[in-house]
């Protein structure tokens, strides 16, 4: 088994204000392997984006606070790194693309300069060499006439082209890990299809690992090798994409999959999950956060927080119903796993 | 069909003109450029397209919130452009709208009760307190809103709850036609399913006709029986939804359907999708001939110059493409081969 390139261990990111503490991420663990895509799936407020920003140290602290956990990149804890060390990793070995290509590019800087900036910073290239590299990268991500477009400003690009430019920046140093936070959510479906295809091609070429953060189940099915489903800041289920869709173990995953309308079949009714996700700022709730919406909740679910049960085939589920199927805990997560009591 | 359509749109155009500076050239955006369709009572009709195709402008024209540059909107056989004053007001009570963004479409200073009851005040309906209370109770019940919400303000609720309030407001006047402009696209999937089920139930119970504007084919397939696909201000294909999904007759529809990711990895890993090249052209300068021709993989010389009209390829199925319906296609093998060719 190859070594994971990125391991998150029991990550807890809280937002602490005088009035209240919001446990945005509360005990997330996973392994990302080289060349693979891991999808982190969840709805708004599930903590999926906050976890990504925690990895790269991009959260404003305070109010954000990483209360516990480790983020190991090639065995080194990013959370323990000094600012300078982290800066050398960020954008170079671990790069990120954001949801809003509109707001994540600098509007008063030419697209080419924004790509060149990264190359100059991390690879110490000259301006001329960096510009040539920027043109190369724009070509690689499929921008027509890159020699001319390299001097355009972001507003001269369409939404899809901006996302391509963002990907060019992220790829400029051939990172080991690409964190993509809802990379296609703001795009039309035909453009989304182009961007996903581009990401897959580039992943093959650079052998990158991708953390794909999304709420779109269709995108997960298309892109992911492994999936972590998050709910209310917790991981509720981890499995390979095939296993997850074939046999979801956690009631939330089952509900989520059933509530997605499919283009291939017309269902009379969708099986919606009743109720609303919990308010994370409203103080800690005893037990499993999904209890109130769960159709199969047991009595203990409202009182005892389920730990992460390790099931066959490397799957994990945080549901008491899976206790019976649980195998012995792997050593890997035993010490750092946040959800263990 | 013999019944009169509740909504009939014919040759509808909306052009917006602007000048670049005081002496600059005049430019015209043809947001909607010759659209015709009709919606029957109790039917759910969808208009599908990507951003900038003109679907939202079309919705505004139907609601008489914008005046058409050309063409007519007939509601229940009467031309909405010719209406004014009391007629227009009465007509409007029969057609209501549900907006995309449940955050900006509810007045933050009003309570839920005020929001839902406002249409009754405007139209002078159900003025008897007991009648109004009964109507309100029924409406809350139908839309799944708890009574305790009535005295609270929109900011206290989540997106799904707000959208329920928006729906209750739209249904307060017992309309016959509801224009729903992307009503679930701002919601999370688990909540989206709740709202879609609600819209379906309400339609059955209240005999509503929907004009459902969306970019999401999977949602449309679930809710609607007939679909029009728009591209750059035009309808390129209309058909009943099963036919459209199984046998699209316009290359744009075909590519659009193929671009939708399917929530099933076993299908996703096998299928070859059709990738469109390039972006949607600017509606300021639509391409000559068929507007889709620069991105089309069935391109023939004539497509660059001839603008195809909608033609009926089988009863009720119209497409504006003279090429695709006559292609020998649709076997999976052929599709795979075609998309491989397109990649080269």
DSSP annotation string for B230-285: EETTEEEEEEEHHHHHHS--SHHHHHHHHHSPPS-HHHHHHPPPPPPPSPPPPTTS
What gap in Å lies between CA A161 and CA B123, rounded to an integer? 48
Q: Which contiguous run of DSSP H or E holds residue B314?
A: strand B311-314
Residue B204 lies in a domain: no
- Domain extent at residue B268: 248-344
Evaluate whether residue B286 is within a structural domain: yes
A158 and chain B: CB distance < 8 Å anywhere?
A: yes
Cβ–Cβ gap A270/B188 under 8 Å: no
Element (H, E) at A25: strand A21-32
Please indicate, yes or no, if residue B224 is contained in any of the structural domains: no
CA dist., res. A200 & res. B233, Å (int): 33
Q: What is the pLDDT of residues A3-47, one digit of tens each?
A: 899 999 999 998 888 888 888 888 899 999 999 999 999 888 888
The pLDDT of residue B343 is: 39
Average pLDDT over residues B101-115: 90
Nearest CA in chain A to B198: A269
* pLDDT given at position B335: 46
Whether B334 is in a domain gets the answer yes
Please list the alpha-helical segments (H only) found in chain B. Answer: 55-62, 85-94, 112-123, 129-143, 159-171, 189-206, 217-223, 241-246, 251-259, 265-270, 332-343
Tell me: pLDDT of B20 over 80: no
**B261 contacts on A by Cβ (under 8 Å):** 192-193, 196, 216, 218-219, 221-222
Domain membership flag for residue B39: no
Number of domains in chain B: 1
Q: Answer yes or no: is the ipTM higher than 0.90.
A: no
Q: Which residues of B touch A198 (CB under 8 A)?
A: none
Put simply, whether A242 touches B (Cβ < 8 Å) is: yes
> Looking at beta carbons, which residues of chain A come within 8 Å of B275?
193-194, 197
**What value does the mean pLDDT take over residues A250-276?**
83
Q: Report the pLDDT value the prediction gives residue B45, as an integer from 0 to 100.
A: 95
Copy the structure tokens of residue B256: 């659009």
Q: What was the pLDDT predicted at B2? A: 53
Per-residue pLDDT band at A155 (split at 50, 70, 90): confident
Q: What share of chain B has pLDDT > 70, as a percent?
A: 93
- Banded model confidence at residue A282, pLDDT cuts 50, 70, 90: low
The whole-angstrom distance between A147's CA and the closest CA on chain B is: 18
Q: Cβ contacts (< 8 Å) between B190 and chain A: which residues?
A: 43, 255-256, 259, 272-273, 277
Report yes or no on B317 lying in a domain.
yes
- Nearest CB partner across the interface for B188, out of A215, A245, A271: A215
Whether residue A327 is predicted with pLDDT greater than 50 in this model: the reply is yes
Query: Considering the domain boundaries, does residue B294 fall inside one?
Result: yes
Q: What is the pLDDT of residue B325?
A: 64
Is the pLDDT at A267 greater than 80? The verdict is: no
Asked whether residue B237 is assigned to any structural domain, the reply reads no
| Residue among B158, B261, B276 minimizing CB distance to A222 | B261
Instruction: Please state, in angstroms and as integers, the Cα–Cα distance from residue B229 to each residue in A175, B216, B250, B257, following that order.
Output: 40, 11, 9, 11
Top pLDDT among B205 and A124 is at B205
Whether A191 sits inside 8 A of B262 (CB atoms) is no
| CA atoms of A71 and A177, how far apart (whole Å) | 13
């Amino acid at each position: 088994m190859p070594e994971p390139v990125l391991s998150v261990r029991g990550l807890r990111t809280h937002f602490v204000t005088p009035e209240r503490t919001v446990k945005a991420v509360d005990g997330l663990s996973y392994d990302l392997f080289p060349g693979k895509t891991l999808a982190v799936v969840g709805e708004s407020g599930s903590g999926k984006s906050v976890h990504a920003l925690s990895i790269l140290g991009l959260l404003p602290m305070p109010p954000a606070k990483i209360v516990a956990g480790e983020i190991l990149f090639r065995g080194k804890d990013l959370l323990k790194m000094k600012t300078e060390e982290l800066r050398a990793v960020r954008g170079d070995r671990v790069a990120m693309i954001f949801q809003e290509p509109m707001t994540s590019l600098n509007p008063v800087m030419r697209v080419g300069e924004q790509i060149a900036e990264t190359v100059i910073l991390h690879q110490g290239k000259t301006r001329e060499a960096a510009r040539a590299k920027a043109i190369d990268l724009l070509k690689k991500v499929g921008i027509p006439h890159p020699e001319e477009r390299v001097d355009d400003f972001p507003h001269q690009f369409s939404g899809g082209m901006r996302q391509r430019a963002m990907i060019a920046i992220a790829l400029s140093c051939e990172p080991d890990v690409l964190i993509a936070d809802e990379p296609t959510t703001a795009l039309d479906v035909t453009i989304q299809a182009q961007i996903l295809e581009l990401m897959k091609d580039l992943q093959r070429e650079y052998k990158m690992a991708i953390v794909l953060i999304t709420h779109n189940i269709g995108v997960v099915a298309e892109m992911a090798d492994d999936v972590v489903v998050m709910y209310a800041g917790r991981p509720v289920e981890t499995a390979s994409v095939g296993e997850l869709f074939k046999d979801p173990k956690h009631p939330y995953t089952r509900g989520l999959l059933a509530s997605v309308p499919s283009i291939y079949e017309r269902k009379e009714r969708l099986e919606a999950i009743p109720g609303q996700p919990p308010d994370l700022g409203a103080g800690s709730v005893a037990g499993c956060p999904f209890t109130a919406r769960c159709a199969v909740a047991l009595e203990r679910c409202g009182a005892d927080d389920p730990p992460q049960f390790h099931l066959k085939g490397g799957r994990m589920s945080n549901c008491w119903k899976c206790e019976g199927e649980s195998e012995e805990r792997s050593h890997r997560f035993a010490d750092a796993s946040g959800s263990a009591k | 069909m013999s019944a009169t359509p509740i909504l009939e749109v014919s040759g509808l155009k909306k052009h917006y003109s602007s000048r670049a500076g005081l002496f600059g050239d005049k430019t015209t955006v043809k947001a909607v450029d010759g659209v015709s369709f009709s919606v029957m009572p109790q039917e759910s009709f969808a208009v599908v397209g990507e951003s900038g195709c003109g679907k939202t402008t079309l919705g505004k024209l139907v609601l008489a919130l914008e005046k058409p540059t050309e063409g007519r909107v007939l509601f229940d056989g009467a031309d909405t452009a010719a209406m004014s004053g009391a007629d227009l007001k009465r007509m409007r009570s029969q057609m209501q709208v549900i907006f995309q963004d449940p955050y900006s479409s509810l007045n933050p200073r009003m309570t839920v009760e005020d929001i839902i009851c406002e249409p009754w005040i405007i139209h002078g309906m159900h003025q008897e307190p007991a009648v109004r209370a009964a109507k309100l109770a029924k409406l809350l019940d139908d839309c799944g809103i708890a009574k305790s919400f009535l005295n609270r303000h929109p900011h206290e609720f989540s997106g799904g709850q707000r959208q329920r309030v928006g729906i209750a407001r739209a249904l307060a006047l017992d309309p016959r036609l509801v224009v729903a402009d992307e009503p679930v696209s701002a919601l999370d999937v688990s909540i989206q399913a709740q709202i879609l089920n609600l819209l379906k139930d309400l339609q059955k119970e209240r005999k509503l006709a929907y004009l459902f504007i969306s970019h999401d084919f999977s949602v449309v397939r679930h809710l609607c029986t007939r679909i029009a696909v728009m591209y750059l201000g035009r309808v390129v294909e209309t058909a009943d939804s099963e036919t459209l999904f199984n046998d699209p007759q316009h290359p744009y529809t075909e590519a659009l359907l193929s671009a939708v990711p399917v929530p099933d990895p076993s299908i996703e890993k096998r299928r070859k999708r059709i990738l469109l090249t390039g972006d949607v052209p600017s509606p300021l300068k639509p391409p000559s001939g068929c507007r889709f021709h620069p991105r089309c993989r069935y391109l023939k010389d004539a497509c660059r110059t001839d603008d195809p009209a909608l033609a009926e390829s089988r009863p009720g199925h119209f497409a504006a493409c003279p090429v695709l319906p006559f292609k020998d296609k649709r076997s999976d093998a052929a599709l795979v081969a075609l998309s491989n060719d397109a990649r080269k």
